[in-house]
Structure 1
Amino acid sequence: MDDQPFRGSLALQRGMVTRNDLRRKCRRLFNDVYISSSADITALTMVKAAWVWAGPDAVLCGRSAAAVLGTKWLSPSDPVELVRAHRQSPKGIAVRSYILALEDIRQDRGMRITTPARTAFDIGRKLPAEQAVPVLDALMNATGLKPTDVMALADSRPRARGVRLLRTALGLADGGAESPKETEVRLLLGAAGLPKPETQIKFFDEYGEAYIRVDMGWRQWKVAVEYDGVQHWTNARQRSWDIERIALLEAMGWVVVRVSAEMLRRPQLVVDRVRAKLRAAGCPI
């Protein structure tokens, strides 16, 4: 028994498990769909389990397609979204009634899913911007999808419900974000009227190799903003490199504003610090 979802009745028929195994060594995810009790339950795990339940006529869409495409930070508690003719579904699976063109569908890991552009199209028009943008950021980061790719799809379907909401979300999305907190910081600065920062700014050594990267910032004024996740405080090697990296940036004339989770609970403090550094560097704000 591996750590992949499986249909219990089929495994019993083939002699791969016993009924006692299903009761004692497995976890039931959906009707007749099980997984080893020792398996980690991720968003992708739940998507695979729903695919086993739904069968090959279904198409995974929305955040579920995003999970298959490698999007990080998705929650396993989110309902699995799929398109199929039969609307009935168990708790934890949401069946959509989308009309999908053949070009909207691709195969990935043996499952039928919507393409990256169609996936973003559905996410952006179904979720409020504050929920959609972090997922769009992560999807773009994982796939290399560009907002223009999604805009082209939206332009071809101007009467689709939620297109205006989608355009708003795409205007805020940036595939450079590497975590939802980085997205939160960027959106906070934008909402405060600060210039839009460039994400994932790279610095190269004399051999043309990138040796420093900052989350976001403004090259013109040499101001960077970094979100420090828990690894920056608990990982000794990471913390040592952070100290060295900031010293190198300061030697090049850059100013770095570091933001923590605790600081984000005081958003005005973050905005005020960044605004002050930009003004001191000559930014006309």
Structure 2
Amino acid sequence: MRHDFDRIAPDVYVARGCRLDAVGRAEAAVHWSKGAGVIVGLSAAAMHGSRWLDAELPAEIAIPTYRRPPAWISTRQARISRDECCDIDGYLVTSPARTAFDLARRLPRKDAVPVLDALCRATNLAPSEVLSFAAAHAGERGCAQVRSVLPLVDPGAESPPESQTRMLIVENGLPAPTTQIVVRNADGAFLARLDMGWKKWCVAVEYDGAHHWTDPAQRAKDIDRAAVLAEHGWQVIRTGANLLYTRPHILLDRIESALSARGAFLNI
């Protein structure tokens, strides 16, 4: 054992040099608890297949009685009803609805929405199911925050920056965009799938990762795609990390101008 494994907690070992991801940390935490722990929070989201989670965050488990955990485990003393849990590969994990409920009431809204977008996308969980769960747990702490966060959740987001772009739009009073819009020509042939936008006014917003700006082949594809969309009446506003995080007012101005030019505010 000493030669081939590293001890990470009492009676818990990993292969020497192994770097645990979020799922591995969660599973190791249950072993540390002698099987008494239920995987909760962000660790539960990881177990359910959510992407974009920080593997370096402490594993989160609920245990019935307090035990002092290692530094890489965060414990919560709680007994979680069995009907609010599910089994994943032999580990007890809070159900998607319970996981979403816990995250929505615990995390700041700006952090909660991207995580919940990813969880709902990974599990096919509808935000309405989480609201129903919250209604059944109305006396629990944080329910008011759940009710304010869940209307912002959209499983169509494919990355945290897409979630944050959508939040920026909605929280600044613009109409909520639809995600993953499929554009077809008059014959029904597929032309493009857009990150988010307003089909009624043929305005879209696309978040482009770094490779869209630095990869010449991708850049050429983007130029051709933009030309095809323009020919079919679409105005596409593109954004990246710099615009979204350091100059959001410019992005908002561009979106508002495009919507206004297409008549989005005529009846307001």
Asked if these proteins are the same fold (TM beyond 0.5), I'd say: yes
Summarize deviations over 1:232-276 as a string: whole Å, max 9, x none. Answer: 234444333322222221111000000011112111011011111
Query: In the alignment, residue 64 of structure 2 is paired with which amino acid?
Result: A
Larger CA deviation: 123-132 vs 208-217: 208-217
Q: Does 1:131 align with 2:114?
A: no
Please say if residues 200 and 213 of structure 1, whose CA atoms lie closer than 8 Å, have aligned partners that are also in contact.
yes
Instruction: Extract unaligned runs of 5+ from structure 1.
Output: 1-11, 13-18
Summarize deviations over 1:57-111 as a string: whole Å, max 9, x none. Answer: 2110111110010101111222211111232211121112334222101111221
Match of 2:66 in 1: 87
The CA distance in 2 between the partners of 1:207 and 1:272, in whole Å, is 34
Indicate the percent of aligned positions where both proteins have the same amino acid. 41
Q: 1:211 deviation in Å?
A: 4.9
Q: Which of residues 252, 255, 260 is equivalent to 1:271?
A: 252
Q: Which of residues 93, 100, 121 is equivalent to 1:141?
A: 121
Say which SS state the counterpart of residue 117 (structure 1) adopts: helix
**CA distance change for structure 1 residues 39 and 204 in 2, over 3 Å: closer, same or farther?**
farther
TM-score (norm 1): 0.86
Q: Does 1:244 align with 2:227?
A: no
Match of 1:65 in 2: 44
TM-score (norm 2): 0.91
The CA distance in 2 between the partners of 1:210 and 1:55, in whole Å, is 53
The CA distance in 2 between the partners of 1:207 and 1:94, in whole Å, is 56
Say which SS state the counterpart of residue 60 (structure 2) adopts: strand
Alignment of 1:1-285 (within 5 A): 12=1, 19-22=2-5, 26=6, 28-88=7-67, 89-204=69-184, 210-264=190-244, 265-284=246-265
Summarize deviations over 1:43-68 as a string: whole Å, max 9, x none. Answer: 22322222232232211011111001
**CA distance change for structure 1 residues 175 and 192 in 2, over 3 Å: closer, same or farther?**
same
Please say if residues 4 and 15 of structure 2, whose CA atoms lie closer than 8 Å, have aligned partners that are also in contact.
no
Please say if residues 114 and 163 of structure 2, whose CA atoms lie closer than 8 Å, have aligned partners that are also in contact.
yes
Please say if residues 128 and 165 of structure 1, whose CA atoms lie closer than 8 Å, have aligned partners that are also in contact.
no
Computed over aligned residues only, the root mean square deviation of the Cα atoms, in angstroms, reads 2.0
